Amino acid sequence: MGLFDRFASGKPQSNEPGQPGGEKPAVVGGVMSRLAEARAKLAARDLPGALAIHEEVLATAGNRPDVLVTISGDLGVHGHVNELIEFIAQRYDAARHGPATGINLLQAYLAVRNVEAAQHLLDILFDLNRPELEDRLFGFSNAIGELMAGHEHVAPTAEQIAGDAPVENKVSLASISKPIWFYQIEELAPQLVARKEGKLRKVAFAQCATLGVADTVERSRQPEDELGRFCRGVPLWFTETFAAAAGYEAVTAVAVSSARHHVLFPAEWTAQNIRELNDTTKGGLDYVITSAVRNVNDDFEFVLRIWEVKKFRELKQFTTRWTPSTADTVLKQFQEQVRLYMEWTALPAGLPYAAPSAPQAHIQALGATLSQFFVEKGVLAPDHATPGADLQLSNAKANPADARAQLMLVSTLLRAKAMGLPLDPAALDHAKTWLSSDAGQQADASALLIKLA
Same domain, 369 and 296: yes
For residue 299, the cross-strand partners are 296
Total domains in the chain come to 2
246 and 314 co-located in one domain: yes
Residues 140 and 184 in one domain: no
Task: Give the model confidence (pLDDT) of 366-417 as tens digits.
Answer: 999 999 999 888 888 888 899 999 999 999 999 999 999 999 999 999 999 8
More confident residue, 28 or 257: 257
Task: Report in angstroms the alpha-carbon separations of 88 from 71, 109, 379, 383, 396.
Answer: 8, 12, 18, 19, 37
Contact call for residues 444 and 194 (beta carbons, < 8 A): no
Domain boundary among 112, 143, 162: 162
Residue 282, pLDDT score: 83
Q: Domain check: are 305 and 266 in the same one?
A: yes
Q: Are residues 68 and 204 located together in one domain of the fold?
A: no
Q: Please tell me the distance from the alpha carbon of residue 388 to that of residue 419, in angstroms, as a whole number.
A: 12
Q: Are residues 215 and 363 in the same domain?
A: yes
Alpha helices in 223-270 (DSSP H): 226-243
Residues 79 and 157 in one domain: yes
Q: Do 79 and 177 sit in the same domain of this protein? A: no
CB atoms within 10 A of CB 101: 27
Is pLDDT larger for residue 335 or for residue 214?
Answer: 335
Q: Average pLDDT, whole number, for the chain? A: 84
Same domain, 208 and 123: no
Say whether both 77 and 36 belong to one domain: yes
What would the mean pLDDT of 196-205 be, rounded to a whole number?
92
Same domain, 145 and 185: no
pLDDT in tens, 262-291: 999 999 988 878 888 888 888 899 999 999
Q: Using the 3D structure, point to which of 134, 162, 190 is the last residue of a domain.
A: 162
Rg from Cα positions in the chain? 23
* CA 47/CA 81 separation, integer angstroms: 12
Range of the domain at 118: 3-162
Q: Beta partners for 300?
A: 295, 322
The verdict on 109 and 200 lying in the same domain is no
| Boundary of a domain, candidates 119, 136, 162 | 162
